Amino acid sequence: MSESENLGLDISVLNQVLDRGDDVARRALALQLTSLVSDPTTSELERSQVTPILLKLSVDDCADVRRSLVMALTHEAALHSDIVFSIIADDDAIALPFLMQTPALNSWHMMAILRVGDEARQKVVAGRDDLPAEAANYIIKSSPLGTVRALMSNPIVIFETQDCHTLYQRFGNAPEIVECLLARPDLPLDIRITQAKRAASRMRQLMAERGWVAANDATELVSDAEDNTILRVLSEADLIERANATQYLAQQNMLTPALVVRAAATGQMRVVEAALAHLAGLSQSRAAEQMYSRSTLSFKSIFKRSGLPAACFGVLKAACDVVVDAKDEGLPLETEEFGRRILEALMTRYEQMNSADRARQIEYLGRYGSERVRKIAKRLKADMVRAA
């Protein structure tokens, strides 16, 4: 170490400029000192000597002096924590760009800002590309809505299943957060299902309050929308997700016979498979094997184990037979064609089914099928009533 390094800098001159110099002189001093600390050859002694002066410049009365200092220090990685926090406490126009870019911010700095900083600074921290997992977890559990929204827009953050549940529990009534959650392809299905139910409940209440339609009609419309949303969620899920979501529906008393029949009436047989498998206590592969067997006894076995009402046996059996027929023909069936095939099966097969039961099964298609199938089913039901 040289003698000059031992002696360090003569900071008396620097202090004189700081105390007596005008704005132009102090700005020049700021630039000179930032150049010094950015130089890798500057000794630690010299850095420590100029730190108090830099700290004073960071709170200078002249905004131009502070701005020049901050712009010069923005990309400096080794800054004293007091200087970092002093800059962060400056006006937003100076502090926020620095906070967004500075490499001098460590995990401890970020956590301090998240705990005691205002929302504007928290949001900048939440959007940083070096945000540590500790900080992300804190935001998810404790930060206000705006900070959470910034975190959800940060592409580097990975949200686990529990994180999504925590956010939904905290902000389930905040549309901007719910929309962000629903936009995530990896969102747990139970949250999608719960949100569908909440949305349906709010719509039902709104219809009742404003008298848009009769109460009974409102209930039916909202139930249709709720069930269709749930079915879409289940249909788009993979095998494991669908099984887990079906279990959740059962736990919430939402795996109703009406939902199962609606799935069958619209050809969403993967959902029917998952439902019968869960209700009967079978694997989905075993459930599908029994459902699509040509043997009526095989289907009767799984149906009986499921505990579903006997009244919906016919329409579910017909739906399973349509799947078998379509597979034999090698033809994929769209929703409307699937419903038509069920109607055809109900009208032309099952000699043991009496007229009243046949009419009831067709009525299910008139209630739960696609729009065009509903019209056909209602006409058939009316014709059967007249013929009787």
Dump pLDDT digits (tens) for 100-133: 999 999 999 999 999 999 999 999 999 999 999 9
Q: Is residue 158 part of a domain?
A: yes
Give the tens place of pLDDT for each residue, 234-272.
999 999 999 999 999 999 999 999 999 999 999 999 999
Same domain, 100 and 112: no
Of 8-22, 56-70, 238-252, give the lowest mean pLDDT range: 8-22
What's the whole-number average pLDDT of the chain?
Answer: 91
| pLDDT at 176 > cutoff 80 | yes
Q: Is residue 201 part of a domain?
A: no
| pLDDT at 5 > cutoff 50 | no
The answer to whether 185 and 162 have CB atoms below 8 angstroms apart is: no
Same domain, 133 and 30: no
The answer to whether 60 and 66 have CB atoms below 8 angstroms apart is: yes
Of 4-13, 63-72, 77-86, give the lowest mean pLDDT range: 4-13
Same domain, 164 and 255: no
Same domain, 317 and 247: yes
As a whole number, mean pLDDT of residues 196-202 equals 81
Q: What is the pLDDT of residue 210?
A: 67
Residue with the two structure tokens 């960071």: 58
Q: Which helix (H) or strand (E) holds 9?
A: none
* Global pTM exceeds 0.85: no
Q: What angle do CA 176, 255, 356 make, to 5 degrees?
A: 130
Same domain, 262 and 162: no
Q: What is the pLDDT of residue 200?
A: 76
Residue 275 vs residues 138, 204, 249, 264: alpha-carbon distances, Å: 38, 26, 9, 11
Of 100-109, 199-208, 221-230, give the lowest mean pLDDT range: 199-208
Q: Is residue 343 part of a domain?
A: yes
Q: What is the pLDDT of residue 207?
A: 67
As a whole number, mean pLDDT of residues 24-47 equals 92
With CA atoms as reference, report the closest residue to 153 among 180, 131, 174: 180
Q: What is the pLDDT of residue 101?
A: 97
Same domain, 280 and 322: yes
Same domain, 98 and 168: no
Same domain, 61 and 89: yes
Distance in angstroms (rounded) separating the CA atoms of residues 225 and 227: 6
The answer to whether 361 and 318 have CB atoms below 8 angstroms apart is: yes
For 130, list phi and psi in degrees, rounded to 5: -120, 25
| pLDDT at 2 > cutoff 50 | no
Q: What is the pLDDT of residue 4?
A: 41
Final residue belonging to a domain, choices 42, 72, 104: 104
Count the alpha carbons within 13 Å of 251 in the hemisphere toward its beta carbon: 9
Residue 74, domain extent: 14-104
With CA atoms as reference, report the closest residue to 68 among 96, 128, 27, 29: 27
Here the tokens at position 309 are 């009402």
Give the tens place of pLDDT for each residue, 274-309.
999 999 999 999 999 999 998 889 999 999 999 999
Q: What is the pLDDT of residue 224?
A: 84
How is residue 42 annotated by DSSP?
S
Same domain, 242 and 322: yes
Count the alpha carbons within 13 Å of 295 in the hemisphere toward its beta carbon: 8
Q: Is residue 196 part of a domain?
A: no
Q: What is the pLDDT of residue 1?
A: 40
Distance in angstroms (rounded) separating the CA atoms of residues 250 and 227: 14
Q: Is residue 72 part of a domain?
A: yes
Decide: helix, strand or coil at residue 214.
Answer: coil
Final residue belonging to a domain, choices 180, 201, 221: 180
Distance in angstroms (rounded) separating the CA atoms of residues 299 and 321: 10
Q: How many domains does the chain divide into?
A: 3
Q: How confident is the model at residue 212 (pLDDT cuts 50, 70, 90)?
A: low
Final residue belonging to a domain, choices 180, 211, 227: 180
**For the chain, how far is it from start to end, CA to CA, in angstroms?**
111
The answer to whether 312 and 297 have CB atoms below 8 angstroms apart is: no
Q: Is residue 365 part of a domain?
A: yes
Amino acid identity for residue 134 in this structure: E
Q: What is the pLDDT of residue 206?
A: 72
Q: How confident is the model at residue 8 (pLDDT cuts 50, 70, 90)?
A: low
Question: How many other CB atoms are there within 10 angstroms of residue 205's CB atom?
Answer: 12
Q: Is residue 217 part of a domain?
A: no
Distance in angstroms (rounded) separating the CA atoms of residues 270 and 288: 9
Q: What is the pLDDT of residue 219?
A: 66
Distance in angstroms (rounded) separating the CA atoms of residues 310 and 330: 31
Same domain, 27 and 69: yes
Residues in Cβ contact with 167 at an 8 Å cutoff, skipping those fewer than 6 apart:
140, 148, 152, 159, 177, 181
Same domain, 49 and 142: no
Same domain, 77 and 176: no
As a whole number, mean pLDDT of residues 210-234 equals 76
The answer to whether 196 and 229 have CB atoms below 8 angstroms apart is: yes
Question: How many other CB atoms are there within 10 angstroms of residue 136's CB atom?
Answer: 21
Distance in angstroms (rounded) separating the CA atoms of residues 300 and 278: 16
Q: Is residue 202 part of a domain?
A: no
